[in-house]
Each structure stands twice: as C-alpha cells, then as structure tokens.
A and B are shown apart, each in its own frame.
Chain A
Amino acid sequence: MTAAGIETNNREKILEVQNLRTSFFTEDGEVRAVDDVSFNVYKGRTLGIVGESGCGKSVTSLSIMRLIPMPPGRIVSGEIIYKGQDLLKLNFAQMRSIRGNEISMIFQEPMTSLNPVFTVGNQICEAIALHQKLPRRQVRDKAIEMLQLVKIPSPEKRVDDYPHQLSGGMRQRVMIAMALSCNPQILIADEPSTALDVTIQAQILDLLKELQDKVGMGLILITHDLGVVAEVADEVIVMYAGRVVEHGSVRQIYSNPKMPYTMGLLNSIPTLSRDPTGKIKKKRLETIPGIVPSLLNLPIGCRFQDRCTYVVDECRRVEPELREVPSNKQSDKLDMTGFSHLIRCVRDV
C-alpha cells in the first residue's frame, strides 16, 4: 500500500546507508560514481531510486552488496548499517553469509544473469544449500516451493528446465525465486522489469508487491522509469551525477517536485491522454537541454547548473547542500507518511 498515513510511527528501520562514497580510479582520474549518499530502508516498504544512466543508482546497490569490482572501484567512505553492524567492515566470509541470504538482489537482464548450463532448479538449490542447512531432498522441495511462490505453472516440471527453455518473464520469475529463497530482509531490484514487455512488466511488478506484503521484506527498486516508481515505491530518491538531488515520499516527489531536474524529468515523459494527468495533450515535449556532465570533469557548484533553467550565479559558486523543504500546511495534509522532503537546490521554494 502506498502512502498509508497510519503506519507513520511504526516504521522499522532495517538498513541505514550513511554518507556512502564509491569511486572508480581510472587512468583519467577519480570517478566519483556515488558521492555522499544517505538513506534508510524500512521493513515492508519500498524505496525507489531513480535517475538516468550513469547517475550512480546501480553503483549504490552494488556497494550495499559489496560487489563493486576492486580495483578499479573502491568504497571510499561511509557506513552501511545492517542489524547493528557495518557491512563495509565485514570480512569476505562474513559478507558472503549475508549476501544472497539476508540481502539479495535481482538484476536487469534475466537472460544473462542465469547460467545457461545448469537447470534453474539447480541454480535455486545452490543458494538454498549454501545458506540453509537442509537435507538434500528438502532443498529441491524448497526450490519447487519457491517456483510456486513466483507463480510459475507446473513448478515440479519447470524445476528441471534450462534457462533457454523459459521466456524472459519466466526467467525474471526464476531470478526472483532465487533471490527470495533464503527469506531475505532486504531485496534490491535493479531495473527488474526494464528488459520486459509492458504486459509482462505489469505481472512482475504485481508479483513483487504481493511477495513484499507476504514476506515483509524491505525493497530497494532501482529504475529509470518514473511510472514504475510511482506505482511501487513509498519513498523516492532522485539521483543526478552521483548525488541525491531530491528525496521524499512518492507523493512529495510527484505532486510537488522542487528540484528543477526532477521537474524536468517528470515533464519530459509523454503522458497518455486517457489518464487524468494528461487531459491536455502536449504538442511538444518539454526537454532538459544538454547532457549529463562527465563525472571526471564536474563543474564547480551545482552539478545540474548547465542544464537548469533556474540557474543563478550562486549555483556556479557553491554546490548546494541537501536541505529540507520548508513545510507547507496544505501538502502536509496530503502527505502523512512522515518522510521529510529534501532537495539539493538553492532555489526559493
């Protein structure tokens, strides 16, 4: 359920990311892919991370999983607190017992993230056998049970199929089954529906929501599709060039965006005329001029300055800090989720 006001106070924090910085050290210099990113993940809630390619959203999720290729990458600073311990301080063995077990991940490409030479059952069993001490017979039963959970028809037969025998949507279901097989506390879904067709995407998003209600995990949904985020997320982070530029509840971000980048993104999507939001059909799409700056060569001041229509001199001098949007009685009434609305912009709002 999105924006259910009553639950405000009993949110249970399960993951805390603080001032995360991840850089890649290349021949041309340091690329700060994720630069000072902080957020929390709550039990049973969905955090959406949106942004365009190269904004650092995937690197953020890989940092949580400690899957950043090192070298050239390195998590430079920050803390990722899970169950009272900092994931960044764990050794490899300790991390392995968490990864795929308590925090798991599904990737964008269901075609490439499954091993083509093993049956899907075999691949699901691998995760279960690794993390749970179950007799062999039961491991297979558990795999079938997982396939049933993600609604794959005749799971006892499908468990012996190879990935190429399944369609894209079915493969993504297998990935979800695998990720959920050890009852994780947190599921990171990196563009889980991007490679899929709309009708299949709807099935997968529905499934994720249903499973979240059933299992109660915290979900981090990474996507570039603002429509998907609006439907699934409770809380949203908008990233630009490695920085969080706007952060708030899904209603705050969509009904009351304050950062010019978020406003531009929302305006540049064509709207359907049959939906209430798109009654007036736009003749021309609004665009954000220019392109994302290179992370090797960032401007001084706000990173969005060259593409911003509201740019003032101050934007070119200092980079604005993330600050809270002064509360407005009217919008507060609409939004009772208790998420504060943060923006990185000097504009008077």
Chain B
Amino acid sequence: MSMNEPAVNADILLSVRNMVKRFPIMGGILSKEVASVKAVSDVSFDIRRGETLGLVGESGCGKSTLGRCILRLIQPTSGTIVFRGQDITSIDHAELRKLRRNMQIIFQDPYASLNPRMTVEDILGEPLDIHKLCRNKRERKERILRLLDLCGLRRESIARYPHEFSGGQRQRICIARALAVEPEFIVCDEPVSALDVSIQAQIINLMQDLQKELSLTYLFIAHDLKVVEHISTRVAVMYLGKIVELATAEDLYREPKHPYTRALLSAIPIPDPTYQKERIILRGDVPSPINPPEGCFFHPRCPIAQDNCKIHRPELRNLSSNEGIAHIVSCHYPG
C-alpha cells in the first residue's frame, strides 16, 4: 500500500494524506506573518472500520490539532481527508454539518465542555434537534432516556444541570452527547486524563462496551501510554508534528523501534516497587515547533543520534516482515 494514494479499501473509514497545519505568527507594525508554528507537518495514516487508533505524544506535539483538523474544526493548511470514500477536505458548511452526524468528538475537560446553563435534556437534545432526528417531543425524550441508560446514567438525571454531577458522570454526559446522532467515528481527545484513577477505569470500560455494541471507530488521543495500550488496536506516536512510529499496539509496546518511543515507554512509572528497569532519560525539552531542528526532528534529544541524523530527515518506512501488518518508523537507525 502506498502512503501517498488515498486508499480505496472498503475496510478503511478514514484516510488522511500529507496533512499540514501551520498557525501563522503575526508581528511587526503591519501585522505580517513573521513565522509559523508547524503544528502538524505532513501526516498520513488510515483508520479502519471498528478499530481504535491510539495517538500519543507529549504536549505540543500536534495530536489535538490533528484530531481537530480531521473533523475540520480547524481548517488544515494542506492535505486531504477522505471519510467513507468522500473527500471532505474542502466541502462547504452545509455539507460539513451533515457530515458531523457521522463524526463526533469528546473533549478532555468535562467541566468546560458542557454548558452550565443547560439541563442534561437540553444538552442531549440539541444534536437531535440540529439534525432533525426526532419527529415529536415524546420520541425525543425517549431517545434521550435511552442515551442515559446506554451511558450508565440515572434516568432522573435528565432534568439536572452539569454542576450537579461529578467529573466521571459529566464525561458520561459528554459521551452520550457524542452518541446522540449515532455517529460511526468519534475523536476522543484525552477523554480520561482529567479523571481520577478509579473513575478512569469506569469510563474506559464504558467506551469499550459502546464500541462493541454500536460498532464505533475511535481515534483515541492521549498522553497516558498505559491507557492507550489498553484501548487501542493500533498506535501512532507523534513528535513535533510528525508521526514517528505507527504499529499495532502489541508490536509497538513489545518492540518499539523508534528511540523516542523507547524513551517514552521507559519513562512510565510502574506501580511495582520491586521492579527495577532501565530508564532512558531524555535530555532537554521538546524543541519549538516554530523552528524545528534540521534533519531528524528528534536528533537533539536522541540518545543514539549520528551525524547523518543532523542532516537527513528520515522518511517513514515499513520495517515489518509480516505482510499486511505494517510497523512504520521514521528513523535512520531503528532498534
């Protein structure tokens, strides 16, 4: 499979090709563009029907921007997005609105993403009204109640306001809202990172149950590598706006090839005091996406960087010997 041609495979729900998003920085008296933040630079991947693609990376690596570009909540600078065989990169607003019935998003902060002045009924009813999915009031109410059941909320919740719920319950409301229009694809942008551990597990289980029941496809964006391994079919690792490694969750966690992925995995604190492991401590911070380094973006922090890495930027290549299961890495010296 070539990464430059949009795939025409029935299994593939979404394909992104060469996506770039630059945010201009204005400056000077004439407010001209003086520089730009390259939040996403030349990213290509596919998401298959029914799978969960995990997207991990540190803050500022462009994972949320990528998620939002896919839904066209942010207009990408260039590249193409093909969803269910239709090129959605430049469709107009009316069409986009129709499209949003099939693609939804769940945000990180359940405190900020619910309107405090709306009751649960209003919150869950709004998407139903926008897409005119109910013929009458009774049907609307029934549908809202069914959504509450589905997401493990009590039926009495319908008349309540967001402040009356705990964080985990609010995230359930956010999930119910995303499911109201019966979408096929949901971008989950750090859906559990604001929650406590015991509540996190409840929400992850709920999301997995819903996926099975409603045959959903997820793009699961998170920085917690443990959660991502648990929920994902395949995992992509981003660094400074680029995908540096993409493989099945099993391969990526068992045999990470990119030195950045290896360092990330070694940095996770393990809840077992008897376990002694080798930790790769990376030097310094993520470089600024305004002036990314020459050559490989990772070379200033890379423990195995060679002279070659400072000059030539590695391309993504498939290192898997197994036909059909790709393990894509961009590194000159993969491990």
A binds B: yes
A231/B166 in contact, CB under 8 A? no
Instruction: Name the one of A198, A269, A281, A282 contacting B197, with C-beta atoms under 8 angstroms.
Output: A269
Q: Which residues of A contact B281 (CB under 8 A)?
A: 199, 202-203, 206
A277/B200 in contact, CB under 8 A? no
B230/A282 in contact, CB under 8 A? yes
Once the chains are docked, how many angstroms separate the CA of A293 from the CA of B269? 29
Residue A291 at the chain B interface, CB threshold 8 Å: yes
Instruction: Name the one of A52, A197, A284 contacting B198, with C-beta atoms under 8 angstroms.
Output: A52
Residue B279 at the chain A interface, CB threshold 8 Å: yes
Give the segment of A88-96, A112-120, A141-149, A250-258 that binds chain B: A250-258
A268/B264 in contact, CB under 8 A? no
Residue B265 at the chain A interface, CB threshold 8 Å: yes
Once the chains are docked, how many angstroms separate the CA of A274 from the CA of B225? 12
Once the chains are docked, how many angstroms separate the CA of A284 from the CA of B201? 9
Contact with B along A252-275 (1 / 0, CB 8 A): 001100000000111011111111
A198-B225, A272-B265, A273-B250 as given contacts; A3 in contact with B273, CB under 8 Å: yes
Contact with B along A218-252 (1 / 0, CB 8 A): 00000011111111000000000000000000110
B270/A52 in contact, CB under 8 A? no
B51 to chain A, nearest CB (A): 16
Contact with A along B261-285 (1 / 0, CB 8 A): 0011111111111110101011011
Residue B183 at the chain A interface, CB threshold 8 Å: no
Q: Which residues of B contact A138 (CB under 8 A)?
A: none
Report the nearest B residue to A207, measured CB to CB. B281
Residue B111 at the chain A interface, CB threshold 8 Å: no
Once the chains are docked, how many angstroms separate the CA of A251 from the CA of B272? 8
B269/A265 in contact, CB under 8 A? no
Once the chains are docked, how many angstroms separate the CA of A288 from the CA of B58? 29
Residue B161 at the chain A interface, CB threshold 8 Å: no
Contact with A along B27-50 (1 / 0, CB 8 A): 000000000000000000000000
A202-B281, A285-B204, A285-B205 as given contacts; A251 in contact with B273, CB under 8 Å: yes
Instruction: Name the one of B205, B223, B230, B273 contacting A250, with C-beta atoms under 8 angstroms.
Output: B273
A277/B196 in contact, CB under 8 A? no
Residue B160 at the chain A interface, CB threshold 8 Å: no
Q: Which residues of B contact A77 (CB under 8 A)?
A: none
Residue A276 at the chain B interface, CB threshold 8 Å: yes
> Looking at chain B's contact residues, is the secondary structure mostly helix, strand, loop, or mixed?
helix
Residue A2 at the chain B interface, CB threshold 8 Å: yes
Q: Which residues of B contact A184 (CB under 8 A)?
A: none
Contact with A along B189-204 (1 / 0, CB 8 A): 0000000111111101
B229/A272 in contact, CB under 8 A? yes
Residue B254 at the chain A interface, CB threshold 8 Å: yes
Residue B77 at the chain A interface, CB threshold 8 Å: no
Query: How many residues does chain A have at the interface if contact means C-beta atoms less than 8 Å apart?
Result: 53
B254/A291 in contact, CB under 8 A? no
B226/A266 in contact, CB under 8 A? no
Instruction: Name the one of A52, A274, A282 contacting B265, with C-beta atoms under 8 angstroms.
Output: A274
Q: Which residues of B contact A274 (CB under 8 A)?
A: 253-254, 265
Once the chains are docked, how many angstroms separate the CA of A277 from the CA of B225? 16
A169-B285, A274-B253, A274-B254 as given contacts; A198 in contact with B267, CB under 8 Å: yes
B198/A254 in contact, CB under 8 A? no
Q: Which residues, 177 to 234 on B, are CB-close (under 8 Å) to A? A: 196-202, 204-205, 208, 223, 225-227, 229-230
Instruction: Name the one of A200, A201, A276, A286 contacting B285, with C-beta atoms under 8 angstroms.
Output: A200
Residue B168 at the chain A interface, CB threshold 8 Å: yes
B173 to chain A, nearest CB (A): 14
Report the nearest B residue to A289, measured CB to CB. B202
Q: Which residues of A contact B273 (CB under 8 A)?
A: 2-3, 230-231, 250-251, 254-255
Residue B318 at the chain A interface, CB threshold 8 Å: no
B257 to chain A, nearest CB (A): 14
A291/B268 in contact, CB under 8 A? no
A167/B285 in contact, CB under 8 A? yes
B270/A275 in contact, CB under 8 A? yes
A228/B264 in contact, CB under 8 A? no
Residue A53 at the chain B interface, CB threshold 8 Å: yes
Q: Which residues of B contact A198 (CB under 8 A)?
A: 58, 223, 225, 264, 267-268
Q: Which residues of A contact B196 (CB under 8 A)?
A: 52-53, 224
Residue A182 at the chain B interface, CB threshold 8 Å: no
Most buried by B among A3, A169, A276, A287: A287
Q: Which residues of A contact B (CB under 8 A)?
A: 2-3, 52-53, 153, 167-170, 197-203, 205-206, 224-231, 250-251, 254-255, 264-266, 268-277, 281-282, 284-289, 291-292
Can you name 10 A-B pairs with beta carbons within 8 Å? A53-B167, A198-B268, A205-B269, A226-B271, A230-B272, A270-B227, A272-B229, A275-B270, A275-B275, A289-B202
Given A227-B269, A291-B169, 19 more contacts at CB 8 Å?
Answer: A3-B273, A52-B198, A52-B199, A168-B59, A169-B285, A170-B285, A198-B268, A199-B267, A229-B271, A230-B271, A231-B270, A255-B274, A269-B201, A270-B227, A270-B230, A272-B229, A275-B270, A277-B270, A285-B201
